[in-house]
Amino acid sequence: DTVVVATKNAGKVREFAHAFAKLGMEVVSMFDYPNLPDVVEDGRTFAENARKKAKTVGDALGLPVLADDSGLEVARLQGEPGVYSARYSGEGATDGTNNAKLLEELGKLDASGVERFQTLEDGTELLSEARFVCALALYDPKDDAFVDSEGFVEGDIMSRPRGEGGFGYDPLFWLVSHHRSMAELTKDEKQAISHRGRALARLLEQLNNRE
Ligand code: ITT
């Protein structure tokens, strides 16, 4: 069995491939369908954007499609970068430039005299509470119907990166529960607690309840 995931993000592809392999399913992504129309992600919410991506690709392929819209909401930045997480540092953004931008923005706050709220034993400072959000939409063009789900994980933004795993903002995302950054977790550990892992579990639950 094959699941089409409407994403061009290699980190997401790895995580979905890992999760679906446990269910005996393979993942194909937009890397396998390079000629599909680009999706304009102009929704105001993660859920809206996830539906948009799933529908655009699902209608183009005539197949059921799963889409993921996700991002980081930082408390002391009033929820930024939010739905703009992928492009936080502008055109040509990479994980590296986005992480640098995040530390720059939090650094501006510190300069205005706001105290950092915690320091780890290695000297890393925790700069703000934050959460990752993931909205999933499964779209079936046959009946023009969606199944939606959402997942969240709470953590703190670190003053410097730690770990080589995951992608995106993971090296700056501290998990009190694990006393490690998200990038220091194994794939299974990340799937068990992450916004994406939780959203996927809820989506599968809904699908199972329908049968
Ligand atoms: P697609 O739209 O092609 O799926 P994208 O990277 O543009 O890929 P989003 O618009 O959903 O996807 O942006 C999500 C961004 O949020 C992503 O680029 C990361 O910067 C961040 N992000 C999402 N999930 C993450 C995770 O598990 N760990 C770290 N950062 C994550």
pLDDT of residue 24: 97
Q: Which residues are annotated as catalytic?
A: 69
11 in a known ligand binding site: yes
SS (H, E, C) the chain: CEEEECCCCHHHHHHHHHHHHCCCCEEECCCCCCCCCCCCCCCCCHHHHHHHHHHHHHHHHCCCEEEEEEEEEEHHHCCCEHHHHHHCCCCCCCHHHHHHHHHHHHHHHHHCCCCCCEECCCCCEEEEEEEEEEEEEEEECCCCEEEEEEEEEEEEEECCCCCCCCCCCHHHEEECCCCEEHHHCCHHHHHHHCHHHHHHHHHHHHHHHHC
- Which residue owns the Cα nearest ligand 1 atom 18? 86
183 in a known ligand binding site: no
195 in a known ligand binding site: yes
Distances (CA, A) of 30 to 13, 38, 46, 53, 109: 9, 10, 19, 11, 38
- Which residue owns the Cα nearest ligand 1 atom 4? 7
Q: Would you say 53 and 47 are in contact if contact means Cβ atoms under 8 Å apart?
A: no
pLDDT of residue 67: 98
Pocket (CB within 6 angstroms of ligand 1): 7-9, 12, 41, 68-72, 85-86, 98, 132, 166-170, 194, 196
Kindly give the distance from the C-alpha atom of residue 95 to the centroid of ligand 1, in angstroms, as a whole number.
9
Kindly give the confidence (pLDDT) of every residue in the chain, 211 residues in length, as a single tens digit, with 9 standing for 90 and above.
999 999 999 999 999 999 999 999 999 999 999 899 889 889 999 999 999 999 999 999 999 999 999 999 999 999 999 999 999 999 999 999 999 999 999 998 866 655 667 889 999 999 999 999 999 999 999 999 999 999 999 999 999 999 999 999 999 999 999 999 999 999 999 999 999 999 999 999 999 998 7
- CA 190 to ligand 1: nearest atom: 27
The residue to mutate among 5, 8, 9, 27, having the most atoms of ligand 1 within 8 angstroms of its beta carbon, is 9
pLDDT of residue 111: 60
Q: Which CATH number fits domain 2-210: 3.30.460.10, 3.90.950.10, 3.30.1490.20, 3.30.379.10?
A: 3.90.950.10
How is the chain split into domains, by residue range? 2-210
- Full-model pTM: 0.96
